[in-house]
Amino acid sequence: MIKMISVSKISRLRTYSDGDGVSTLIGCMGCPLRCAYCFNPFSWDESIKPKRYTVDELYDEVKKDNIYFLATGGGLVFGGGEPLLYHDFIKEFIEKYRPTGWKFTLETSLSTKQECLKDIIPYIDYFIVDTKDMDKNRYELYTKGDYDLFLSNLKYLLENVGADKIRVRVPKIPKLNTLYDVRVNSEILKGMGFREIEVFNYIEVDEFEKISEIALRNKQEFVELMTNNFIKDFILSEIVLKVTPLIDFHIKCFPGYLWKNTEFIFEFDSVYGENLYDLKEAIISRLCECYDYLDLEYSFYVILYPVDSLVHKSFGKDECFRTADVLEGFNQRDRDDYLLKLWEKDKWGYLEFKNFCRTTNKLSDYFDNYTYELDPKYILSNSYEVFPPESEIRIFLNKSGEKYNIVEYGDATHVLVQKLDIKMEVISQEISMLNR
């Protein structure tokens, strides 16, 4: 049976990027990994039609640069995708064309069965290994691959080839590892016996060229996961454990077309109910630091509840998206009615402190100007006017397109007026346009 290789591209006249001399890179199709910042996603996302070659056809294609290979000590680099998927083809090609005097390099993630590696080791002059990350959790989060398989192959390669024939690449990957992590990865590899260690920065290829929807979705899933994990770790280590009154936290996420993206819900020791303003300031400033580090816009809400008051509340993601699914099928009038019912059902759940920048939402104005004292588990912003019992709550809104956003008074186009009885139950409510 004639062996063939599927190739995404052939890159000629590469100088000293893949070892010594001038080289030609053979980009193999297919890869077992799904790296978020994959530089060649077309090798697995089915966005291009590959070209297929027999051994002799590939030789005819690359031999045009023979003079450069011989003059500089260069040759062919089999990369990818993952070239080990074509170990039989590569073995046959090198067996037949070893007399050319070319250098044969394999650029691999070592993410296939070890038998593929064993089969090809005697034929390869030089190996380039992209390690991704030497931490098992980070590696598998980023690649969706098997770290134990990679590590086993890496050790096998070192034992059977020797450090002089291997270059290991240690990437700094956005949102995955830090410079400290990269130094630790390098030290681990040095401790294993590797001597040629290349540290470099991954780039986000979609910032320079268009990639497929499949590849973009793969990246976005990773970014969302890592962002959420980072925020959770930050809140626990830098807020809950360092701000004494705080005992626990919950996060609710919302689809983009609702009026908010995220709710951070903190439980606090009710002994500190008189100091909620200072507590709020501490939380907001720390969350802003976190968002600044991640280069995110301040689009979150903070809600404070006394401890144990949330026993019967659910904060699951499914709950939020069930609401979103309902709204998606509504026209504007039905959507408005549905949101009003949500406000009526959990009216205090929407009396939230919203922070888009540090200078808005002056909570002290509320305490200075209003005598009606709410239960300390609620914090209000200037998005609301609250009047004594048997009166009303006014919630300021801005209607943009087909949705309402809760905004500060100065940005409001509409106002939701909820009339309440002495038990703070809604008697009636309506949305009116503001005339200024």
pLDDT tens digits for range 280-324: 778 888 888 888 878 787 777 787 777 765 554 555 444 444 444
User: For position 230, what pLDDT does the model report?
Assistant: 85
CB atoms inside a 10 Å sphere around CB 111: 23
Helices (H), 211-315: 213-234, 276-294
pTM for the model stands at 0.66
User: For position 322, what pLDDT does the model report?
Assistant: 45
CB atoms inside a 10 Å sphere around CB 142: 25
Q: Cβ neighbours of residue 21 under 8 Å, at least 6 residues apart?
A: 15, 68, 69, 71, 72, 73, 74, 75, 103
User: For position 212, what pLDDT does the model report?
Assistant: 93
Q: 275-280, long-range: CB within 8 Å, 24+ apart, which pairs?
A: 275/245, 276/304, 276/376, 276/379, 277/363, 277/364, 277/367, 279/243, 279/245, 279/246, 279/304, 280/304, 280/353, 280/363, 280/379
Q: What end-to-end distance do the CA atoms of the chain give, in Å?
A: 82
User: For position 313, what pLDDT does the model report?
Assistant: 54
- Phi, psi (rounded to 5 degrees) for 10: -125, 120
Cβ atoms of 171 and 179 closer than 8 Å: no
User: For position 35, what pLDDT does the model report?
Assistant: 95
316 burial via Cβ count (<10 Å: 0-12, 13-18, 19+):
exposed
Q: Cβ neighbours of residue 229 under 8 Å, at least 6 residues apart?
A: none
C-alpha neighbours within 13 Å on the C-beta side of residue 96? 14
Whole-Å CA distances, 222 to 35, 205, 214, 217, 225: 9, 15, 13, 9, 5
Q: Which CATH superfamily is domain 4-213 in?
A: Aldolase class I (3.20.20.70)
* Rounded mean pLDDT for each run of 10 residues along the chain, 436 residues in total: 92 83 95 94 93 97 94 94 96 97 97 96 97 94 96 98 96 88 95 96 85 93 87 88 84 59 79 70 85 79 71 47 55 65 50 33 35 39 57 75 69 79 67 80
Q: Which tokens sit at 164? A: 């002089």
Cβ atoms of 220 and 227 closer than 8 Å: no
- Residue 12, amino acid: R
Q: Cβ neighbours of residue 273 under 8 Å, at least 6 residues apart?
A: 306, 376, 377
Alpha carbon of residue 250 to chain centroid: 20
Question: How is the chain split into domains, by residue range?
Answer: 4-213, 243-378
Q: Which tokens sit at 20? A: 């010594």
User: For position 353, what pLDDT does the model report?
Assistant: 36
